[in-house]
Amino acid sequence: MKNREELEAMARRIRLNILKMTYQSGLKGAHLGGGMSVVEILTVLYGNIMKYDPARYDMPERDRLILSKAHAAVALYAALHEAGYLTEEDIDQALHGDSMFFEHPKRSLRHGIEFSGGSLGQGLSLGMGTALALKKKGLPSRVYVILGDGECDEGSVWEAAAAVTHFGLTNLTVIIDRNGLQFDGRKEDILNPGDTEARWRSLGYEVLTADGHDVEELQAALLRESDRPKVIIARTVKGKGVHFAENEVTWHTGRLTDELYQEAIRDVND
Amino acid sequence: MTEITRSKARLWSRLGARAVLGQALLEAAKERDDFYVVSADLAQSSGLGRFRGEFPDRFMNAGIAEQNMIGLAAGLAKDGTNVFATSFSPFVTMRACEQVRMNMGYMQLNIKTVGLGSGLIMAQLGNSHFGIEDGAVMRAIPGMTVVCPADGAEIVRTVEALCDYGKPAYLRLTGGPGLPVVYEEDMGFRIGKAISLREGKDIAIIANGTMVHYSLKAAEILAEQGVDAAVLDMHTIKPLDTEAAEAQLDKKLIVTVEEASIVGGLGSAVAECLAPKKNKPPQLMLGIRDCFPHAGSYAYLLEQCRLTGELIAEDIMKALRN
């Protein structure tokens, strides 16, 4: 198990690679805000929680991660680099030219990518079916589905949410990256979700909350044993780690000029 | 493989498309354990009552939640396992269209969606339940196979073929109990390979689903009027049997007939195939003429949409005169 310092160092490297990919994406930019908010979640999952082996990428016993808020692909690529799936060169090429690592991930088990994403509200269904298949085969693997809080506007999320508990899929964990912002503004102003915790609890989930940037809190929540499917509501900050992007709606996507790139690197390294 | 006999063909005809589907899946499940079936609260309507009873571990109900049903199927199919997913045709193709596009198109997961009651058979239930654009919508998705069998025997063969087909596909079921019989013996069914049912030198009628039967009827009427019509069962809309379509270029007229909108379906697929050819006959595209037909009995709807043997023959004669 990596300790706090090691996990935090890993998170820092992931952030620096997110900045690098955003910078090299040039004028079109990338989804920096939601990428930065999910960093610690991915760090803890790939750093200490999930079972995987890039050398045996299709082994049936692997744990599966589905990043349903797939616009945060930059964070996934950086995490997969840490996990040993993506090379330094893959990161150098990502998001520009003819790289296969573009703004929304395309399924490639060899690279640790379990799904093709980009259309919100679909990941929990896919994860639910995957968890059901694992259960039927008697495999011990777990499925982790990361949802954005904005994404939970989608009705299909709730179809899947009910099915997870209906089928008793205790091998599935939902993590909500609750950064409170979506494309057009604050979550509450765009579509009020009501009481999120109560909503999941009413469906039969064990509901946990955690500071989504505290690796130890996240880890404790992920390790918590439960006889019910678990949802972890991670309180996060969109654009976390870069002062000009933090909690800024306009940084859902953005491009980094030379100057902003250097500023952002300094922020992350501080 | 199920044996096809005259008496079975008649039985399947009486049962109708949905019951035949359920029976074919049940027979397949007895012989192989490599597929699942899921439905969206339509197990009974899919003829899957017995399947559910005999193979409870291989049947899952997603509830009235078609989008989630496709995600569920996708998760089950992620390791290559074959999954059949059934609902009424508009719900499985359009309500869940984007899930189909991502999971079956983009990810090419091994799911077979089945559109029940496609075409006009839902009759008095009205246009909410009709399947008039389903084939077109599914055909537009890259990497999708679309099959629309002519009768009970061909549904049985299609289900058998789909059990061995490692790619995503949409099975479009037209007609109901009293489905006309086209095949009383094995027809040598292969996905993507049209079946020639009648030779003819003057015109070619290319049809699928229930319209194969009505096209054969039309050909008989046309023969009485001195027009020698070939009839092709183009059960697979995608990938289209382009060779079979191109073989009709020497005819005076090519006619496509489908129990579907003329926008984007079989007629369009044939037209797309033949458009680049330099010397080609005109194409008459018969089907539902880009409208929501006034609901009524199935017979009333076929009449209204000019999709009976007599009316197809009449429209062909008119086109030949012009």
pLDDT in tens, B105-137: 999 999 999 999 999 999 999 999 999 999 999
Is B107 in Cβ contact with A116 (below 8 Å)?
A: yes
Mutate to test the interface with A, among B33, B59, B72 (most CBs of A within 10 A): B72
Considering only CB atoms, which chain A residues are within 8 Å of B77?
129
Please tell me whether residues B67 and B135 are part of one structural domain. yes
Is B99 in Cβ contact with A163 (below 8 Å)?
A: no
Q: Report the DSSP pairing between strands B35-39 and A181-182.
A: unpaired
What single-letter amino acid sits at B197?
L
3-class SS of residue A125: helix
Is B67 in Cβ contact with A132 (below 8 Å)?
A: no
Taking the C-alpha atoms of residue B202 and residue B252, their distance in angstroms, rounded to an integer, is 6
Chain A residues whose C-beta sits inside 8 Å of any chain B C-beta: 60, 106-107, 114-116, 118-119, 121-122, 124-133, 136, 155-156, 159-160, 162-163, 166-167
Interface of B with A in 237-296 (CB under 8 A): none
What single-letter amino acid sits at A59?
M
Tokens linked to A132: 């059901």
A158: nearest CA partner in chain B:
B68
Domain end, chosen from B174, B207, B239, is at B174
A114: nearest CA partner in chain B:
B78
Domain count, chain A: 1
Considering only CB atoms, which chain B residues are within 8 Å of A160?
68, 71
Taking the C-alpha atoms of residue B89 and residue B36, their distance in angstroms, rounded to an integer, is 19
Within a domain: B105: yes
Mutate to test the interface with A, among B38, B39, B66, B68 (most CBs of A within 10 A): B68
Structure confidence by residue, pLDDT tens digits, B301-311: 999 999 999 99
Q: What is the pLDDT of residue B322?
A: 85
Structure confidence by residue, pLDDT tens digits, A115-169: 999 999 999 999 999 999 999 999 999 999 999 999 999 999 999 999 999 999 9
Tokens linked to A124: 């929990």
CB contact at 8 A, B105 and B144? yes
Q: What is the pLDDT of residue A104?
A: 96
Residues counted in chain B:
322
CB contact at 8 A, A200 and A124? no
Please tell me whether residues B143 and B202 are part of one structural domain. no
Taking the C-alpha atoms of residue B102 and residue B249, their distance in angstroms, rounded to an integer, is 37
> Which element (helix H / strand E) includes B23?
helix B17-31
Is A162 in Cβ contact with B72 (below 8 Å)?
A: no
Which CATH number do you get for residue A84?
A: 3.40.50.970
Domain count, chain B: 2
d(CA A161, nearest CA chain B) in Å: 9
Please tell me whether residues B14 and B145 are part of one structural domain. yes
Is B81 in Cβ contact with A129 (below 8 Å)?
A: no
Considering only CB atoms, which chain A residues are within 8 Å of B67?
121-122, 125, 155-156, 159
Please tell me whether residues B140 and B221 are part of one structural domain. no
Within a domain: B184: no
- Cβ-Cβ contacts under 8 Å between A and B: the total is 82
Q: Mean pLDDT, to the nearest integer, of B38-49? A: 94
Is A160 in Cβ contact with B75 (below 8 Å)?
A: no
CA A209 to chain centre: 16
Is A132 in Cβ contact with B76 (below 8 Å)?
A: yes
| A184 CB-side CA count, 13 A | 6
Those residues with Cβ within 8 angstroms of residue A101's Cβ, 6 or more apart along the chain or in another chain: A73, A77, A86, A90, A93, A94, A95, A111
Structure confidence by residue, pLDDT tens digits, B188-204: 999 999 999 999 999 99
Q: What is the pLDDT of residue A212?
A: 98
Domain end, chosen from B144, B174, B204, is at B174
Please tell me whether residues B129 and B228 are part of one structural domain. no
Interface of B with A in 60-119 (CB under 8 A): 60, 62-63, 65, 67-68, 70-79, 81, 98-99, 101-103, 106-107
Within a domain: B46: yes
Structure confidence by residue, pLDDT tens digits, B54-100: 999 999 999 999 999 999 999 999 999 999 999 999 999 999 999 99
Q: Report the DSSP pairing between strands B82-88 and B145-147.
A: unpaired
| CB atoms inside a 10 Å sphere around CB B250 | 11
Q: What is the pLDDT of residue A27?
A: 83
Whether the pLDDT of residue B213 is over 90: the answer is yes
Q: What is the pLDDT of residue A28?
A: 86
What is the extent of the structural domain holding A107?
Answer: 4-269
Please tell me whether residues B153 and B215 are part of one structural domain. no
Is A132 in Cβ contact with B71 (below 8 Å)?
A: no
Within a domain: B41: yes
Burial (Cβ within 10 Å: 0-12, 13-18, ≥19) of residue A143:
buried
What is the extent of the structural domain holding B32?
Answer: 6-174
Can the peptide bond before residue B239 be classed as cis, meaning omega within 30 degrees of 0?
yes
Mutate to test the interface with A, among B33, B36, B57, B78 (most CBs of A within 10 A): B78
Looking at the partner chain, which of B75, B103, B107 has a beta carbon nearest the beta carbon of A128? B75
Within a domain: B66: yes
Is B78 in Cβ contact with A160 (below 8 Å)?
A: no
Which CATH number do you get for residue B143?
A: 3.40.50.970
8-state DSSP, B312? H
Q: What is the pLDDT of residue A97?
A: 87
Whether the pLDDT of residue A109 is over 90: the answer is yes
Q: How confident is the model at residue A202 (pLDDT cuts 50, 70, 90)?
A: very high
Considering only CB atoms, which chain A residues are within 8 Å of B81?
133
For chain B, the farthest-separated pair of C-alpha atoms sits apart, in whole angstroms, at 59
Please tell me whether residues B101 and B237 are part of one structural domain. no
Within a domain: B185: no
Domain end, chosen from B117, B143, B174, is at B174
Taking the C-alpha atoms of residue B171 and residue B161, their distance in angstroms, rounded to an integer, is 11
Please tell me whether residues B12 and B66 are part of one structural domain. yes
Looking at the partner chain, which of A122, A127, A128 has a beta carbon nearest the beta carbon of B102? A122
Mutate to test the interface with B, among A68, A106, A159 (most CBs of B within 10 A): A159
Whether the pLDDT of residue A266 is over 90: the answer is yes
Please tell me whether residues B157 and B272 are part of one structural domain. no
Please tell me whether residues B141 and B270 are part of one structural domain. no
Instruction: Say whether pTM exceeds 0.90.
Output: yes
Please tell me whether residues B262 and B315 are part of one structural domain. yes
Please tell me whether residues B19 and B140 are part of one structural domain. yes
